[in-house]
Every structure is written in C-alpha cells, then in structure tokens.
Amino acid sequence: MPWVNVEDLEETIRKHKIVIADFWAEWCIPCKAVEDLLRRLEAKLSIKGLNVIIARVDVEENPEEATRYGVMGLPTVILFVEGEEKMRHTGGPAGLERKIMKAINALQGG
C-alpha cells in the first residue's frame, strides 16, 4: 500500500479508488500514534488485496487542503472511495482501526 505526501489531495483522490487521507502536523503527538496505527493496518488491507493509497497531508505546509476538507482538529483521517467520503475520524487512534475496517468491509459487501 503506497504512502504519499500530498499537496493536492483532490488529484490523489481522483486518481485512486481508495484513499485514506491522514491530516497531521509535526508537533501533534496523537498524529504519530495514528501514523503508527495506519502503518500496522497496511498488512491487513494488503491481505484483502485492496490497492489503498495513504495520503499524508501536513497541515502546516498545506493549510488550504485542511480547510478544503473541513479539518477542524488533528489528527483527522478521512477514507475516500471513488471520490466520496465514507468515513471520518478526528483524534487519537482509539477506535480508528475499527472504523476503517468497518467501512472497508462494507465496501466489500461483508
């Protein structure tokens, strides 16, 4: 599962079927925990055979992207499927994996 740092999230979403957008900042301690969780989740999603892109958006370098996607707190993770927002989570990693897997399983019909 590729990880990309993006300046134009809209283009990344348009090019790929499934995108997990991770809005973060260097100073944000919970952001590091979310990044670790997403890295662990890579294996689970790869086993499912899904081509998922994790797009990391540094809100300090790309504040316009945070505004465009209505990010009000950090970290914020948004799952996009075929350009449509399917899941949003703001805050630390608690419950995030469950939310992502629930959305992915719904996508796969189970």
H-helix or E-strand containing 22?
strand 18-24
Q: Is the pTM here over 0.85, yes or no?
A: yes
Counted domains in the chain: 1
Domain region containing 84: 3-107
Q: For position 77, which CATH number holds? A: 3.40.30.10
Q: Where in the sequence numbering do the catalytic residues fall? A: 28, 31
Question: Position of tokens 């990309």?
Answer: 4
Matching residue, tokens 């707190």:
73
pLDDT of 6-20, one tens digit each?
778 999 999 999 999
Distance CA(19)–CA(33), nearest Å, equals 19
Q: What is the pLDDT of residues 43-102, one digit of tens each?
A: 788 887 888 999 999 999 999 999 999 999 999 999 999 999 999 999 999 999 999 999
